[in-house]
Amino acid sequence: MSSAIPQRSAVVLMWRRLRRRPVVAGAAMVLVALVVLAAAAPYVAPYDPFILIPGGTLHPPSRQFLFGTDELGRDIASRVVYGTRISLQIGFVTVGISLLFGTIFGLLAGYYGGRIEGAIMALMDVLLAFPQILLALAILAMLGPSLTNAMIAVGISGVPVYARTARGVTLALRSMDYLDAARAQGAADLRILLRHVLPNMIPPIIVLATAGMGISLLVAAGLSYLGLGAQPPAPEWGAMLSEARAYLRNAWWMATFPGLAIMVVVLSLNLCGDWLRDFLDPRLRT
């Protein structure tokens, strides 16, 4: 594990390295822009995302409607802008669930070992025996289709990956002298886990979470595309593409821009994830 770098110099170092990788810097800016767009959606979007513009159905992209309008006469650009809110929510909720439970399970399994580890890892192995989309579908089948349930399903389906990583880090640390020292001083297990083990887990978990958010967004948008996640008229990008399918012949723009938005966000997450992995753990560099 990399020794703890003082906080400020890490940021400076990151910034220096980023300047040499303009593509990654651009990707990071896209992610910042995504947050800004989500926050400022009412000011940025030219129209209300739900309002039906009279006489404005299936307009091709023009100066008035940048990305065109859909079959009901709603402005697609405005819907894509408002969609950033849903995507951001999906990204944070799904990764939050995977990360929280994954880290807890991994810490407990790695630290206590024995039966606790056996039980937790057996459960994780069963979950891993299902491909992620199938696992998400199975959980969604139990909970019933809705955006909230889709987020829960995608979040749970990501837990085993985080659990494995967290366990790996904990196992590597378990026999370290400084943990023995902490124990000898009479530190409680919880304190050791939180103060001495958890901080070491942050770099690999950040790397996982960045790339994992891209995957979660893809799976969640896919569930919405199938009609199992976000329901119309929500301006969710996957659901918008699903509506676009019936109008492929006459409205290419309906099928183009929401997908482009998904791809740009996921691509930015992947670029940043790859870069972070190289930055935080040079040994993994390929």
Q: Which H, E and C letters describe the chain, residue by residue?
A: CCCCCCHHHHHHHHHHHHHCCHHHHHHHHHHHHHHHHHHCHHHHCCCCCCCCCCCCCCCCCCCCCCCCECCCCCEHHHHHHHHHHHHHHHHHHHHHHHHHHHHHHHHHHHHHCHHHHHHHHHHHHHHHCCCHHHHHHHHHHHHCCCHHHHHHHHHHHHHHHHHHHHHHHHHHHHCCHHHHHHHHCCCCHHHHHHHHHHHHHHHHHHHHHHHHHHHHHHHHHHHHHCCCCCCCCCCCHHHHHHHHHHHCCCCHHHHHHHHHHHHHHHHHHHHHHHHHHHHHCHHHCC
Q: Judged by CB, which is closer to other proteins: 58, or 176? A: 58
Q: Judged by CB, which is closer to other proteins: 204, or 238? A: 238
Q: Which part of the chain contacts other proteins (CB under 8 A), choosing from 11-19, 78-86, 158-166, 242-250?
A: 242-250
Asked if 228 interacts with other proteins (CB under 8 A), we say yes
Q: Judged by CB, which is closer to other proteins: 63, or 283? A: 283
Binding positions for other proteins, 154-183, rule CB under 8 A: none
Q: Judged by CB, which is closer to other proteins: 33, or 226? A: 226
Asked if 61 interacts with other proteins (CB under 8 A), we say no
Name the token pair of 138.
């199975």
Asked if 101 interacts with other proteins (CB under 8 A), we say no
Min dist CB 186 to other proteins, Å, is: 39
Asked if 246 interacts with other proteins (CB under 8 A), we say no
Binding positions for other proteins, 207-226, rule CB under 8 A: 214, 218, 221-222, 225-226
Q: Judged by CB, which is closer to other proteins: 108, or 136? A: 136
Name the token pair of 83.
């969609």
Asked if 125 interacts with other proteins (CB under 8 A), we say yes
Asked if 227 interacts with other proteins (CB under 8 A), we say yes
Closest CA to 244 of 229, 260, 257: 257
Binding positions for other proteins, 266-285, rule CB under 8 A: 266-267, 270-271, 274
Asked if 138 interacts with other proteins (CB under 8 A), we say yes
Min dist CB 140 to other proteins, Å, is: 6
Q: Which residues bind other proteins (CB under 8 A)?
A: 122, 125-127, 129-134, 137-138, 140-145, 214, 218, 221-222, 225-228, 238, 241-242, 244-245, 248-249, 252, 255-256, 258-260, 262-263, 266-267, 270-271, 274, 286
